[in-house]
Chains A and B, each alone.
Chain A
Amino acid sequence: MAKVLIFAEPHGTTVKSVTFEILGKAQGHTLEVVAFGNLSSGALQDLAKYGAQKVHTIKGKNLEKYSPEGYSEALHDFISKGNYDYVFAGATSAGKDFFPRLAGMFNSGMASDVVNFLFEGDKWYGTRPLFAGKCLAKVELQGPKPHFITIRPNALGLPASPTSSSPANAEFTHDVASIRAVIKEIVKGASEKLDLTEANIIVSGGRAMGNADNFKILNQLADVIGATVGASRAAVDSGFAPHSMQVGQTGRTVSPSLYIACGISGAIQHLAGMRTSKVIVAINTDKDAPIFTKADYGIVGDLFKVVPVLTQELKNLLGK
């Protein structure tokens, strides 16, 4: 049995859902969770529901807010005392930022943005996309343990019937003497919605949107179904949408349950970034657009006429 530690990030009244995905997939091994600060009672209940056996919280000087140096230093201290085989995090903004630094402190290997994994005995094997999802490869780690792994949100899925537990709680203290790269301020984004990489539904617009103002019809659709709005590179490069909304090889790689592509022709670098979406709907006037080769449901038609009808239909269905 491998000894597994999962780094959890608070999110709303619980922790980010990728934590539960990892707990579900790694069942059968010793599963511990670590987080900074206090976890809410909702988070503790959910961690118990998905089978965490022990929940650690770390507190100390200079750990009140995120910093790559502070989080790495404190976790390095914590992990060094725990004899862990594998340390997981979500491939989130923070996870992607500080996990490489943390792995480097152990001179250990790290697998990034893994979309599936299994254990053979205690040995871990993963699958990860490369070239923005144009191909997949098997990944394994060698050299000194612990080994570090980040998991792409939404890729594993939540376990259908999780094994619950009654985790013990433990506190760990580590004071960080000084931090050089310090966050002075956080400026909120234009959208309060989930990030593209974590969204369950994405509505995306392409060059055919014509201008930034026209994205409001996608926002209206997104509001009805709780989606996050994305954009193709063509739309971003034309100035219709900010880069933070870009889906594709030089933007976000996403795998929502539902991806609705509006006026996107389907350039190879865009398809690479969204092809792992579970269900794809495409709306395009060009019946030969490459996007239709990836779409589960393709609608040949003018997005400006189809999207408002779709929005109304879903509004009726969902009783909004």
Chain B
Amino acid sequence: MNIFVCIKQVPDTETKVIPTKDGSFIETSSIKWIMNPYDEFAVEQALLIKGTNANFNVTVARVGSIQSSEALRTALAMGADDAILVEGADNLDSYTTAKALKLAIEKSGKKPDLILSGKQAIDSDCLQVPQLLAQMMGLPSVSVVVGFELNGDNLVLKREIEGGALEIYNVATPCLVACGKGLNTPRYASLPGIMKAKKKPLAQHTLTALGISDTDRKVKYSEFRLPPEKPAGKKFDASEEANIGKVVKEVVTFLRNEAKVI
């Protein structure tokens, strides 16, 4: 079984985002890059499946800049067999990214039985690439998957929808599964894993070599800016128990008469 895991490298969740002066993107020079947290669930799921059959192959693929290849190295150290890096910018749109992943997977010569990814990348938050990639490759897809069972060629998947409800899907491989939080507990890379990762094969392509051009970009971003700061609000001291009743009354009055939300 050939399993492909598509991952993205994103700024750490604690990153303070600063738009560039010209507003064309954000300052990336001092960012700590990590594997997109949702993609960790996808890598872990691939490795759990590989754990049932050592002959299964897990390939991780990523499109993005090469200033740091932390995310791919982490996935290899966790236990993936090989990696593909498509060199591009960190602010490509979903269509370009999905097309690059499709072409890179095809170029690998391996026919995918299962493609895994995170449900969304926590930087651009588009939730498009997995479904687009599935459509481009002619595969069915299930997104926001929090439960995963593989029996032979058949999958039973739990997809989380509004209010924590679950849609239970039946689907046969080949297919694409976009993973959500709660699916599994991603493993940490072991020290021997990190050593081994250095010797694992990494294929590298450019967008141009894959046949992707600027006309593939469908979404254009500009005017990156910080959201407007709210003026300082009112603060009430209810640390003394005797004040609680009075403070709560005041706040409720403000909610009703000033904010008009109750």
Contact = CB atoms under 8 A, between A and B. Distances in A.
Contact of A181 (B175, B227, B230): B175
> Which size class do B's interface residues fall under?
35 or more
A294 B128 CA distance: 31
The main secondary structure of chain B at its interface with chain A is mixed
A246 B122 CA distance: 14
Interface string A282-298: 00010100001111111
Given A93-B144, A101-B134, A296-B230, A139 B224 contact: no
A246 B237 CA distance: 28
Interface in A258-307: 258, 267-269, 275-276, 278-281, 285, 287, 292-302, 305-306
Q: Most chain-B Cβ atoms within 10 A of its Cβ — which of A194, A243, A251?
A: A243
Contacts of A132: 122, 125
Contacts of B131: 68, 97-98, 100-101, 104
Contacts of B19: 135
A268 B132 contact: no
Interface in B123-143: 123-132, 134-136, 140-143
Interface stretch (A31-39, A55-63, A105-113, A157-165): A105-113
B27 to A, nearest CB: 11
A43 interface: no
Given A100-B128, A105-B135, A138 B123 contact: no
Interface stretch (B48-56, B204-212, B243-251): B243-251
Contacts of B191: none
A25 B235 CA distance: 35
B168 A250 contact: no
Given A100-B128, A181-B142, A279-B261, A139 B252 contact: no
B213 to A, nearest CB: 12
A100 B244 contact: no
Contacts of A292: 233, 235
A134 B125 CA distance: 11
Interface in B111-168: 122-132, 134-136, 140-144, 146, 156, 158-168
Contacts of B255: 258, 279, 281, 297
A250 B13 contact: yes
B225 interface: yes
Contacts of B239: 285, 287, 300-302
Interface string B168-198: 1111100100001110000000000000000
A113 B94 CA distance: 13
Interface in A240-261: 242-246, 249-251, 253, 257-258
Interface residues of A, number: 99
A252 to B, nearest CB: 10
A140 B220 CA distance: 5
Contact of B171 (A182, A188, A225, A251): A182
Given A100-B132, A250-B37, A138 B141 contact: no
Given A143-B218, A280-B233, A292-B235, A185 B162 contact: no
Contact of B235 (A180, A190, A298): A298
13 contacts: A110-B128, A112-B126, A132-B122, A137-B23, A138-B223, A180-B140, A181-B171, A184-B168, A268-B16, A279-B261, A294-B230, A301-B238, A301-B244
* 10 closest residue pairs by CB, A with B: A109-B218, A301-B238, A189-B164, A244-B164, A195-B162, A104-B135, A180-B140, A100-B131, A181-B140, A93-B161
Interface of A: 66, 68-69, 72, 92-94, 96-98, 100-101, 103-105, 107-113, 129-143, 179-195, 197-198, 201, 225, 242-246, 249-251, 253, 257-258, 267-269, 275-276, 278-281, 285, 287, 292-302, 305-306, 309-310, 313-314, 317-318
